[in-house]
Structure 1
């Protein structure tokens, strides 16, 4: 059985291996011992903090095989963007111009550097072992974060966004970066993303062009990248799209990957999850597959289980399930259909 739980400092060696295997562009999972240590300690402090309103806390989760102890993935929630450093995006909208003398109005697609998405909750850092891609465990890794938000709404914003990794070639080349960022930093895409993971995006974003970039003036290969998902990021996109997330007019600063957005109250795993009472049972007449969690903070746990869930009755869980969730017979749990 696999369970999602908050990260611990003892996870550091395995997390570094996950970082080595992660997709280029997942800058929130740097392959650097000290930076990962800082992230873990920051997350531990966030889970322990008495928070009344979102203030930039970072909640870092890991997916662990409870038998082997091996980590199979990780994911994060940043409670509010723009609290600790500027949060930059590219706004993709037409730039309108007109000539009254010629009676001509024209709109040209343009990309503009902005901080419009500050103050929203950010899902980030999604990474799962290749052999578990498109399995229920992927759903657990992504969606259990949303159940955590449902359990602790005061800690998060009224809307949630996520940046999906944009297109790059197998050898790590990004046509979009090559057309824009390369000219300002003289760095290859892989190196720029590595530096962002080790430090922050702010120092690079501050040097990006402050004026609109007219899309038709970019090479066709760069234009094709705008809003395009990297093949290895498609699952993360698909899971959240099923949750009710939609693309908007913003793309990633460096690779032009799409940004997904949803009102927190409308997200499926938040709006459709419900409380139930756990009842211990050695045998379950399973009728469907569910995500199950407790409503804890530092002791938060979530699993996938085959259950029989009625409209308002208790939910039977095996002793192993109860132990994985850290709850006992008669305690409250949260469930939502997979």
Structure 2
């Protein structure tokens, strides 16, 4: 059985293994032991803290195979994007250039640098091993974060964003970076992302252009890359689009990948999940449908995917093994949502 839980320092070696295989552009998963150790330590402190509003907390999770103790994925939530450093995006806008005398009225697509999404909660650090990419376990790795947010709303903002890794080719070249960012830094996209992972995105973002960029002036390859998703990031993009996220308003300032955003009240796993009382029983159902389930705890948070024969309005019967995996006892409440 696979269980999603908060990461612990003992997971460091496994997390670094995952980070080493994550695609270029996932700067929140640097292949650096010290940075990852700092990330896990900050997460442990956040889970242990008493919090009444979203601040500088980060919550880092791993997807563990209980049979092998191997980490099969990871994901995270930043309570407030831009809390300690500016959170930059390009906003899609339209400028109108008109001349009554010449009877010309042109609408021009521009990219305006902005901090619009600062203060929103941020989904980040998503990765699953290749064999799980197209499985329902990827849903658990992504959506269980949303169940955690549903159970602890005071810790998060009213809106959520996430940056999806944009297009780059098999050599790690990004057409958007080459057309925009590389003009200000004589380094490749892969090197820029590596530096951001080890340090911060701010030092590069602050030297990017601060004025609107007229999209028609960019090469065709860069324009085509805007809003495109890296093949290895398609799974998380698809999951979050089904959750109700929107993709039309912002793109990433480095690779042009889509920046998704949604109001918490409109996210499916948050708005439609239900709290159900647990009853311990014998055996497991031979039929039913798959559900994502989570407990309502903090440091002992657990989420799993189970096939259940459950009727709304009724208590949920779990076997002893299922209840142990979720770290719940008879009479406790769990949150669940269909896969």
**Normalized against structure 2, the TM-score is what?**
0.98
Q: How does 1:1-338 map to 2 (within 5 A)?
A: 1-285=1-285, 286-338=287-339
Q: 1:55–1:83: 8 Å Cα contact kept in structure 2?
A: yes
In 2, distance between residues paired with 1:111 and 1:244? Answer: 24
Q: Deviations over 1:150-189 (max 9, x none)?
A: 0000111111111111000011010111111111111100
For structure 1, the 5+ residue unaligned runs are none
Deviation at 1:103, TM superposition (A): 4.4
Q: Deviations over 1:103-142 (max 9, x none)?
A: 4332211111111111111111110000011111100000
For structure 2, the 5+ residue unaligned runs are none
Deviation at 1:244, TM superposition (A): 1.1
Q: Deviations over 1:7-45 (max 9, x none)?
A: 100111111111110011011000011111111101111
In 1, distance between residues paired with 2:282 and 2:265? Answer: 36
In 2, distance between residues paired with 1:272 and 1:109? Answer: 37
Deviation at 1:97, TM superposition (A): 2.5
Aligned length: 338
Which aligned runs of 4 or more in structure 1 are off by greater than 6 angstroms? none
- Stretch deviating more after TM superposition (97-106 or 129-138): 97-106
In 1, distance between residues paired with 2:282 and 2:166? Answer: 46
Partner-residue secondary structure (3-state), 2:278: strand
Deviation at 1:272, TM superposition (A): 1.0
In 1, distance between residues paired with 2:105 and 2:64? Answer: 57
In 2, distance between residues paired with 1:158 and 1:95? Answer: 30
Deviation at 1:99, TM superposition (A): 3.0
In 1, distance between residues paired with 2:107 and 2:227? Answer: 19
Deviation at 1:330, TM superposition (A): 1.6
